[in-house]
Structure 1
Amino acid sequence: MPARDYLLDIEPLRTSKDFRSIFIARVVSLFGLGMASVALAAQVYALTDSIFQVAVTSMIMSITVLIGSLWGGVMADRMDRKRIIVYARGAAAFAFAGLAWNALSPDPKVWVIFLCVAWDGVATGVSVTALMAVAPTLVRPDQLPAAGALISLTGEIGSIAAPLLGGVLLALSGPGPVFAFAAATTAVTTFLISRIRPLPPVRDDDEDDEEDTGSPLVAFKYAWRNKVLGGLLTLGGVTALFTMPVVVFPAMVDKKFGGGEVMLGLLYTASAVGSVIVSATSGWLTRAARPGRLLLGAAFVGGLSMIGFGLSGNIAVAVVMLAIGGAAGTVYEILEYALVQHNTPDRLRGRIVSVITTQDTSGDIVGDAEVALIAKWFSPSGAAVVNGVICAFAAVAIAVAVPGLRKATLPKEAWDDDDDDGDGTAPDGSPAPGEGGGLTTAVESVRPVSG
């Protein structure tokens, strides 16, 4: 395979004007949100001198995102998804404006922060769900892995660069201007998305005749019965609960590696570095012959990396293990993105995304508690090893028990060269494959970053 085939595939950005607009909007939004997250934690701690209050802020965000995701999933399967995203991001801009106003006032109030965080959480949950539901309809079926890699790369770069820039701006000017910047970037995101074409949900006459009540349970039952989606939901549930144990990083640095803040920063960065490397060299993933097997293999390697991290005796080995885990996780997410999209009808797309988002959000909350409990019973290292063993075993068990996932494939056909202007329609005005009406079996499941 030529070296250029390993590079990030940017074809979705070249062939779809609407995907390009959403991609740019996402990049802008991620930087605003990442910078605001640093200012939010710093301001709450400065006002309360309480780590618990910082945790309460995070919990409020998680719970309200969960609520917004469930609500957004139902709406995304009933209404024009573009309008949902525009209204939700517009509402989020007001939340950041409220945070900026409160921070710049002579006497900032913590309850105002909590209220704005809750408002933004619901808006973010709604907009992320609708955004994930529309992304697959903007690219060709054979471009799904490439689109997932592009989204994953922006998320990882944003997670590295945005907090750093947020910290610099916070040090120079305080939290108020940071929140004002987040409000401005959210407004830009809203404008960019308002320029794409309408994106109503698509119903195919040949779809399942089961009465659709609009409930998320309908989507969950469909996914559970599907030979690919059922396996992905099960494996995703395990990996969400027994994920990389970041909550033990401070204890590992203190008790095992004998380091300080710089060493702790290395641990937090290592996973993201592995993810960026894979995303930037993900061209080969778009041509994977057996994506189902590769996804299961990535989950297995991710489990082994956690075991290696827990057993590591020095910081160099620990960093390498975390980088391998981040790389394996990104391979998993890119292929999960494409496989779930290819196996879900458009009429259920919003609710499937909401089910997966709910799984991830609740898994993160419960997973942190699970890791802390195991670390208390055994040790921080023991918690990492236990989680790794469970994830690796789950990958093997599901590979054996769910042959549909193991044998899953993705479309390789190319798009006819009818869409010369990149607007997602053929010359006669009909949707091109993967543009609205052409792809009726798609949903995005890459772990979303808020925004």
Structure 2
Amino acid sequence: MDTSDSGTAPRANAPEPESGPREAGTGPEPAPRRGWRRWAMDTRPLARPAYRRLWVSTIVTAVGSQLTAVAVPKQIYDITGSSAWVGAAGLAGLVPLVVFALWGGAVADTMDRRKLLLITNTGIAVTSLLFFVQAATGLASVAVLMVLLALQQAFWGLNSPARSASIARLVPADELPAANALGSTVMQTGQVVGPLLAGVLIPVIGLPELYLIDAVALCVTVWAVYRLPALLPLSGAGKRRAGLREVVAGFRYIAGHTVLLLSFLADIVAMVLGMPRALFPQLAAETYAGWGEGFALGLLYAAIPIGAVAGGLFSGVFSRVRRHGWMVIGAVVAWGAAVAGFGLSGNLWVAAVFLAVAGVADMVSMVFRGSILLSAATDEMRGRMQGVFTVVVAGGPRLADALHGTAGSAFGPRGAVAGGGLLVVVVMLALALAVPALRRYRV
């Protein structure tokens, strides 16, 4: 392992102050940004070699992972001709993701996070290679695809908490919002570029090669993680075993820290009550059919990620704000208001603008909720906090699909969307007023 950058993170046996890693925060303060640079993305974390390697690897894999995310349902549909099987594949991936994200958070708090990232990224790469093998050999087995998908999501569940928790060891606390904005922008860009690229490549090279591209891209991630400094537990946590007791302890920790609990509740409120994607097909077919159903559907799905990417590119506007709690409250309220505006819009382009504004708000919320989890929790709990975060992010939109689908049938799609957005605003403001911990939180 290359240890030339080990100064970017604390030594494994050194105490870490709660404000962030000591080594990452040393050095002269950067000159204040002037002119247009005040608005542009805050790139300070990229000056730290270890974080830069992790971030560059994310650029490659953000697109590669989306290739597989498109290829798997496409292959299942080609085999079965049934959308029901495609939906079942989503469930097959969700269950192991939830289980292993919770356990993976506990594991990340008891062992070298770099080592865990090496193991899990290698596992994900091998799974992508197995996807390639089954497609190239013409196996055409839905059961094999389901098993591979479950295995891939299990590795991802173990990987995600360790990856997110490591950021607080690679950058100082005041750069956490900027680091989260950089990472979130890359992931959102991948969600836009990856599916478009897959749509272009499938007719040209076929599904097997899509899986192979993802496997090769993951090798870049493995190499980047290999060159990270060791990220051993800062306390005696390495002597514990990551079992059910540690997972339960993580939930108790959340319950005992109001600001952490509210950060999770804020995301649940926004996603469960206000994520309208389940109604996009009906809206495209009925409300916006005049623009072409296919075009309308594609624009609706792309609008939120496009807004999130724009929010990331101009994250310099908010990344230095210290009142993280107020930023979360404001972002969730803005999300709800934008979703309500979308529900009331009869014009496709106005609707897309509202969804893009919601995407910007979602980016701001992600940045500051992630920063709160990393700064308000101690290092020995960060993995478990990120494990719960992964479950909330993965599970919230799926619950929203069921809720909005039902509400859309009962009240009509536009009424369900607008009502959900207004509920987000009301519930979030009520939480903020009733419990002051989030309002008062700052770094």
After TM superposition, is the score higher than 0.5?
Answer: yes
Q: Which residue of 1 aligns with 2:175?
A: 143
Unaligned ranges ≥5, structure 1: 206-211, 411-451
Query: One-letter code of the match for 1:215?
Result: E
Unaligned ranges ≥5, structure 2: 1-33, 238-242
Q: How does 1:152-171 map to 2 (within 5 A)?
A: 152-171=184-203
Q: How does 1:286-305 map to 2 (within 5 A)?
A: 286-305=319-338
Q: CA deviation at 1:204?
A: 8.8
Change in CA separation of 1:339 and 1:107 when aligned onto 2, cut-off 3 Å = closer
Q: Which residue of 2 aligns with 1:269?
A: 302
Q: Which residue of 1 aligns with 2:3?
A: none
Q: Give the one of 145, 168, 175 matched to 1:113.
A: 145
Q: How does 1:421-440 map to 2 (within 5 A)?
A: none
Q: Give the one of 262, 269, 273 matched to 1:238.
A: 269
Query: One-letter code of the match for 1:104?
Result: A
Is 1:218 aligned with 2:249? yes
Percent of paired sites with the same residue: 29
Q: Which residue of 2 aligns with 1:353?
A: 386
SS of 1:228 mapped into structure 2? helix
Deviation digits for residues 263-286 of structure 1 (CA, Å, limit 9, x no counterpart): 211111111121111111111212
Query: One-letter code of the match for 2:62?
Result: L
Is 1:338 aligned with 2:338? no
SS of 1:337 mapped into structure 2? helix
Query: One-letter code of the match for 2:247?
Result: P
Q: TM-score with structure 2 length normalisation?
A: 0.88
Query: One-letter code of the match for 2:118?
Result: V
C-alpha distance in 2 between matches for 1:36 and 1:232:
31
Q: CA deviation at 1:262?
A: 1.0
Alignment length (residue pairs): 403
Q: TM-score with structure 1 length normalisation?
A: 0.86
C-alpha distance in 2 between matches for 1:253 and 1:213:
45
The answer to whether the 8 A contact 1:35-1:164 is kept is no
Q: Which residue of 2 aligns with 1:101?
A: 133
SS of 1:198 mapped into structure 2? coil
C-alpha distance in 2 between matches for 1:232 and 1:326:
18
Is 1:184 aligned with 2:216? yes
Deviation digits for residues 18-61 of structure 1 (CA, Å, limit 9, x no counterpart): 11111111111111111111111111101110001111112111
Change in CA separation of 1:2 and 1:407 when aligned onto 2, cut-off 3 Å = farther
C-alpha distance in 2 between matches for 1:363 and 1:213:
23
Q: Which residue of 2 aligns with 1:282?
A: 315
Q: CA deviation at 1:128?
A: 0.9
SS of 2:319 mapped into structure 1? helix
Q: CA deviation at 1:289?
A: 4.4
C-alpha distance in 1 between matches for 2:126 and 2:195:
21
Change in CA separation of 1:238 and 1:342 when aligned onto 2, cut-off 3 Å = same
Deviation digits for residues 287-326 of structure 1 (CA, Å, limit 9, x no counterpart): 2243322221111111111111111111121111101111
Q: Give the one of 350, 362, 367 matched to 2:400.
A: 367
Deviation digits for residues 220-268 of structure 1 (CA, Å, limit 9, x no counterpart): 2222222321221222222232232111011011111223111211111
Is 1:256 aligned with 2:287? yes
The answer to whether the 8 A contact 2:160-2:390 is kept is no
C-alpha distance in 2 between matches for 1:85 and 1:69:
13
Q: CA deviation at 1:90?
A: 0.8
The answer to whether the 8 A contact 1:297-1:395 is kept is no
Decide which structure has greater helix share. 2
Question: Which consecutive aligned stretches of 4+ in structure 1 deviate over 6 angstroms post-superposition?
Answer: none
C-alpha distance in 2 between matches for 1:95 and 1:125:
14
**Between 343-352 and 266-275, the greater mean CA deviation after superposition:** 266-275
For the aligned residue pairs, the C-alpha RMSD in angstroms reads 1.7
